[in-house]
Amino acid sequence: MADVKLLGTWPSPFSYRVILALKLKGIDYEYIEQDLSNKSPLLLQSNPVYKKIPVLIHGGNPISESMTILQYIDESWPETHPLLPADPYGRAVARFWIKFAEEKLSSASMIFRTSGEEQGKAVRETVEVMEILEEHAFGSLKEKGFFGGEKVNMVDLAYGVMGRWFDAIEECSGVKVIDPLKFPLFCGWAERFNEAPVIRDNLPGRKELVDFYKRRREMMLAAAAAASN
C-alpha cells in the first residue's frame, strides 16, 4: 500500500476539504503542517507551479488544487464512500456546483480581510452568491440531507467550509451575512454537515477558528493601515 502524505496549513479550509475526504474514505495518511512564510523544499518541489497547499503526495506522486485532489482520491479509492454520483449526468451536475464553489467563494474571505467600503462590497457579492446557491443548489436538497443523499459527498465538502468557517469570519469581522431567515435551506444543510458522521469529529473547534481569524484580521488591518501611511 503506497504511502499518503498531506501538506497543509491549519486551519485552511482547502486543507480541510482533503482531510475530510481522506477521513470519510478511511485512508491512512501523514499530515505535514507547512510554514508558508518559509516554504519547505518538499512543498516547492511538489507544487512548483503555485507553491501552495494543499498538496497530496501518493506513492511519491504530488497532486495539488483541493478539488482536483478530491477527484483523485475518489478515483484512486473507489471502494469506500463514493464522493460523486455513479451516473454521468449526476456527476456533471455535481462538477458544476464544485466549479461554482471554486470560483465564487473567494469574496467571502475578503469580508474578513477588509473593512469599510471594501468590506461592504465583499458582503454584497457574497450575499448574491448565497442567493444563487439557496435557490438553485440547496433548493434541490429540500429536507433530504446532503448533495450525496444520505451521505456527504464531494459537493458537500466543497461548500462545507461555508459552515463553521463563515461563522468564525462573521464573528470576528462583526458582520452577519448568513441570515437564517433569508437562507434557511443553506443553514439547515450546514447544521447537518457539521453533525454528520466523521465530519463532526474532524472539524476544527469553533473557538479556535474564531481566535485564529481574529488575530489574522488584526494583523491584516494593521498592515493595511501601515501601508497607507
Partner 1 sequence: MSGEEKVVLHGMWASPYAKRVEIALKLKGIPYEYVEEDLLNGKSEALLKHNPVHQKVPVLVHNGKPVIESCIILEYIDETWKSSGHALFPQEDTYRRARVRFWADFIQRQLLEKFIVTITAVGEAREEAIKELRKNMELLEEGLRVNFFPEGIPQYHFDDQKNVRFLDITMCAFFGLHKAQSEFVRTTEIIDLQRTPLVFSWVESLKEVPVVKEVLPPHDEVVNLLRGFRQNAVGSSPQV
Q: Which is nearer to partner 1, 74 or 167 (CB)?
A: 74
Cis ω for the linkage preceding 11 (within 30 of 0): yes
With respect to partner 1, which residue has the nearer C-beta, 45 or 202? Answer: 45
Q: How far is the CB of 180 from partner 1 (least distance, A)?
A: 23
Which one of 33, 106, 128, 132 is in contact with partner 1 (CB under 8 A)?
132
147 binds partner 1 (CB under 8 A): no
Q: How far is the CB of 176 from partner 1 (least distance, A)?
A: 25
Reference 72, options 97, 49, 54; nearest CA is: 54
- Tell me the number of residues near partner 1 by CB under 8 A: 22
Tell which one of 124, 136, 144, 206 touches partner 1 (CB under 8 A): 136
Q: Which is nearer to partner 1, 135 or 191 (CB)?
A: 135
Rounded CA-CA distance 24/152 in Å is 9
Binding residues among 11-50 for partner 1 as defined by CB under 8 A: 49
When the beta carbons of 15 and 173 are compared against partner 1, the nearer one is 15
Q: Across-strand partners of 8?
A: 33
Location of C-alpha cell 464512500: 81
**Closer of 63 and 196 to partner 1 (Cβ):** 63
**Closest CB to partner 1 among 60 and 197?**
60
> How many whole angstroms separate alpha carbon 172 and alpha carbon 167?
9
> Smallest distance from the beta carbon of 126 to partner 1, in angstroms?
16
* CA-to-CA separations, 225 to 94, 172, 229, in angstroms, rounded: 42, 18, 7
Beta strands in the chain (DSSP E): 4-8, 30-33, 55-58, 61-64
Give the cell for residue 25: 474514505
Smallest distance, partner 1 to C-beta of residue 92, A: 4
Phi (first) and psi of residue 110, to 5 degrees: -65, -25
Quote the distance between the C-alpha of residue 87 and its chain's center: 25
* Inter-residue contact 8 to 54 (CB < 8 Å): yes
Query: Which three cell numbers mark 218?
Result: 488584526
Interaction with partner 1 in 43-102: which residues (CB under 8 A)? 49, 58, 61, 63-65, 68-69, 71-72, 75-76, 88-89, 91-92, 95-96, 99-100
Task: List contacts with partner 1 (CB under 8 A).
Answer: 49, 58, 61, 63-65, 68-69, 71-72, 75-76, 88-89, 91-92, 95-96, 99-100, 132, 136
